[in-house]
Structure formats: C-alpha cells, structure tokens
Amino acid sequence: MGNPKAFLEIHRKEAGYRPVNDRIHDFGEVEQTLNTKDRQEQASRCMDCGVPFCHWACPLGNKDPEWNDALYHGEWETAYKLLKKTNPFPEFTGRICPALCEKACVLYHTTGEAVTNRENEAAIAERAFLEGYVTIENPQRNGKKVAVIGAGPAGLAAANELNLMGYSVTVFEKNEAAGGLLRYGIPNFKLNKAVIDRRIQVMEQEGVEFRYNSEISGESGISVISGDYDAIVIATGTPTARDLKAPGRELKGVHLALELLSQQNRVLAGMTFSDEERITARGKDVLVIGGGDTGSDCIGTAHRQGCKSVTQIEIMPKPPVGHNPNTPWPNWPVILKTTSSHEEGCTRRWNINTLEFLGKDGKVTGVKVQPIDWKPNPEGGRPLMIEAGEPEIIKAELVLLAMGFLKPEHPEYPENVFVCGDAANGASLVVRAIASGKQTAQKVDAFLKR
C-alpha cells in the first residue's frame, strides 16, 4: 500500500461518459479515460485491507490491492502481470463488468466511494497492449486435443487456459466471428469489437484454432467430433430468450431484444440487410419490455438509430434507491441502476404487466398494459400479483422483449464432455463466464491427467 492517507485525501474520480448530445450520434464507446496522473492517484486510494472483500466478490479472485499498488507506483507492466495471473481478458471486464468488487470495497461501505477497480483494470489492459506487455506464449504441446464448442467468454477462457497448458485446442463457433454475446449482444458503445479481434489474434498466434460457421448441435453433433478429441468443452451460452406469448405477438415490429442488438452489431461490422429484414427504431416510439441490462442496451441502440421516444417497463417493483437492507454489504446491492443508456433519455415504469400487443394492418401500434402490485403470498413462495388501476395503452411501433433467457438443459454426457459458462449456470455475467471457463479447463486437465 503506497499512500496510507490517499483514501482520506483523494476522492473517487470516474472518467465518466462522453456528453449525451455527442455520443448518441454514433456507436463509439461511451466511456472516457483518465489521464495517467489521475489514474495512478485513483489506484493509490486502495487501502490494501486486512480482509480484502474485493478478492472475495470478484468471481475471478482478482487481486485488486496488488495491482492497484503497482499501478500507483507507475509499474504498469507489473500491474498487468499481476492482473493476468487471474484474469485472461481484463480488456473485456475492464469495460463491461458491473464491478462486483467495487460494491464489496471497504471504501464503498464506509464512504460510498469505492476504488475505481474496473476502470483501473481497463487502463492496465490498454497500456499492456499499447506498450507490448501482452506477449505471445509458445506453449509446449502435450499431444492431446480438446474441442471447445462456442467462442463466447466462457469458451474463450477455457480454450485459452487449455492452450497455455499445452493442449491443442480447436474452437467450433456457429457464428461468423468469435465473442458470443460480447460481439452479438453487447452494443459497440459499451465494447468496441476491435477489442475482441485483438484478443483473438493473440490466441490464434498462441496456437488456438478457430472454426467459424461451425455449429455442433446436441449429442449427435458431439458424437461426430468426439473421435477426434480427448475432451470436449460445451460453452454454448443460453440460446433461448424468454418470449411473451400475449395476443398479437405475431405482429410485425415485435422482436426479441437480441434480434435488434445482434443485427445492429452486424451492420456495424459491415453486413447488409434488406429493408424487409432490417429492424430499426428510426422515427418510432419504442417500448422495451424488461427492466434489466439487455433492455438498457436496447434503449441505447434505439437512441442511436434515431427513435422518437423510448419507454421501458418492468413487471417487478422499482428497486430501492441507494441502499437495500435485504442485500447488505459486502453483498451485491440490489438497488436502482441508471445506465448510460437511461441517461440518454427514457421513461421508466415498474409494476407493469403486459396484456396484449395491438396492431393495424399486421404491424404493431401499441401495447395494452396493466398496472399491478405485489402482495405477500399467505402460503409462502412467490408474491401474488394484483391489479392496481385501469389497463392502458402505450403507443409503440417497435416493441423489444428483453425478459432474460431460459437456462439450457443438458443430457448426461460422456465423462470427457464438460459444460461451462451460461450454458451450465444460466444467464449471468461475462466475469462469471470467464471464471467458469477457467475452472472447467482445470477440470479437463485433471481428467486428462488421470
């Protein structure tokens, strides 16, 4: 710990976002960066606590106090080496991790001003690429082969770890490029796709083979490749989004969130779509159903496409603002979250149930909704939903369903087949997917060394 008084004298300083009126005209990353002096000063605020809860909260067990100290002293290469020990892709988490560590930070608990771990992580990763600390490893091959199915963060983490252990790794990916939801879910304004390409190039140079447009589906798909590999890792994510089977669902203009998000990301990558296929919010009133992060990404995308207005509705009650006694520190606080996309303009409503999609000439024109309330269930379990007011109509020419994903079910696979990431645990976070991929690589290694 370099400066024992820094946390008393220096306040948390975030780099912040580009101004709204600038950023909504493009899909460039919204987050800015601090200069080197400010960044090192922010790192100096880390107190290297006796019990560092940030380790505990980070699914990767990142050692934030260690690399914050190196960063404070301007030892960027050391900081990167410490970070790399636990996190193979800090350039991803540094941009889009919700920073579980920061909400567990002792400074968050005591002053509300956590150390800026996530931004520090991104700064270390970017400096490492810029100054050449990201070296190409040349692992000695051990003669065994592993197939990884799915090139999202879980599959990439498993492939990376196994490759560095000496296995010959082939990644089968059904899409035309790697990244999973990093590439085809998360908008470019949160994560520029060149950041993914840069990491894939490193992995390729280190020996990982990527086969794109290669779908390996179900037990039959696995049995086709199983003869060629000693072990198989399934990292196929959560392919099925939760749908809303209300009357009128078939109307044109009602889409799953990922239909919009993945298409927009592909358009930015240079792909073209016919007018018939193209989903756009341009000139439309947009309704997003689902109050979570995917819904928020739809809002930011709709703004950049030139929508007239955006409303986001959520069936659950509004979370508490600032503090939630049900999720005390150091747990992740379930509180109201306002994202950069919300800041760009949006009407947010809670306790709203969707009854019906309304339309004219086959196209959606609005959604009939019902204000509701929740009351405790006398028999225990899920609270009971009760009506609270008259049904109303929200005008919308584009409706986006952002209500989460179904957890996949898996058959009993042979003992050399392993499942990781969202495919194993249900929809979660990039940092958890990376951690799961790494842990699975260790299991594969233990299995193949029996």
For residue 291, give the DSSP letter. -
CB 312 within 8 A of CB 336: no
Region for residue 288 given its phi and psi (left: phi exceeds 0; alpha: psi -120 to 50; beta: otherwise) = beta
Task: Give the binding site for ligand SF4 (CB under 6 A).
Answer: 58, 60, 62, 64, 87, 93, 97, 99-101, 117-118, 121, 431
Length of the chain: 450
By CB under 6 A, residue 243 contacts ligand FAD: no
189 binds, among ligand SF4, ligand FAD, none (CB under 5 to 8 A by kind): none
Please tell me the distance from the alpha carbon of residue 180 to that of residue 265, in angstroms, as a whole number: 12
Cβ-based nearer residue to ligand FAD, 6 or 186: 186
Site for ligand FAD in 203-242 (CB under 6 A): 215-217, 235-237, 239
Number of residue whose CB is nearest ligand FAD: 152
| Closest approach of ligand FAD to the CB of residue 377, in Å | 30
Cβ-based nearer residue to ligand SF4, 330 or 408: 330
185 binds, among ligand FAD, ligand SF4, none (CB under 5 to 8 A by kind): ligand FAD
CB 206 within 8 A of CB 164: yes
Strands annotated E in 308-426: 309-313, 347-349, 352-360, 363-375, 384-387, 392-395, 398-401, 417-419
Site for ligand FAD in 75-114 (CB under 6 A): 96-97
Per-residue CA distances from 151 to 159, 172, 280, 340, 407 (Å)? 9, 7, 27, 27, 18
Cβ-based nearer residue to ligand SF4, 232 or 431: 431
Site for ligand FAD in 176-195 (CB under 6 A): 180-182, 185-186, 190
Q: In sequence order, what are the residues at sequence separation of 6 or more whose Cβ sits closer than 8 angstroms to the Cβ of residue 351? A: 314, 315, 316, 317, 318, 371, 372, 373, 374, 388
Please tell me the distance from the alpha carbon of residue 42 to that of residue 309, in angstroms, as a whole number: 38
CB 352 within 8 A of CB 372: yes
What's the angle, vertex CA 350, arms to CA 349 and CA 354, rounded to 5?
A: 90
By CB under 6 A, residue 119 contacts ligand FAD: no
Q: In sequence order, what are the residues at sequence separation of 6 or more whose Cβ sits closer than 8 angstroms to the Cβ of residue 186? A: 96, 261, 297
Segment contacting ligand FAD by CB under 6 A, of 52-60, 67-75, 143-151, 354-362: 143-151
CB 219 within 8 A of CB 166: no
| Closest approach of ligand FAD to the CB of residue 319, in Å | 18
By CB under 6 A, residue 153 contacts ligand FAD: yes
| Binder of ligand FAD out of 126, 314, 397, 422 (CB under 6 A) | 422
Segment contacting ligand FAD by CB under 6 A, of 10-18, 279-287, 355-363, 420-428: 420-428
265 binds, among ligand SF4, ligand FAD, none (CB under 5 to 8 A by kind): none
For residue 257, give the DSSP letter. H
Cβ-based nearer residue to ligand FAD, 251 or 434: 434
Residues 259-298, one symbol each (x = binds ligand FAD by CB under 6 A, - = not), give --x-------------------------------xx--x-
| Positions that interact with ligand FAD (CB under 6 A) | 96-97, 149-155, 172-175, 180-182, 185-186, 190, 215-217, 235-237, 239, 261, 293-294, 297, 421-423, 427-431, 433
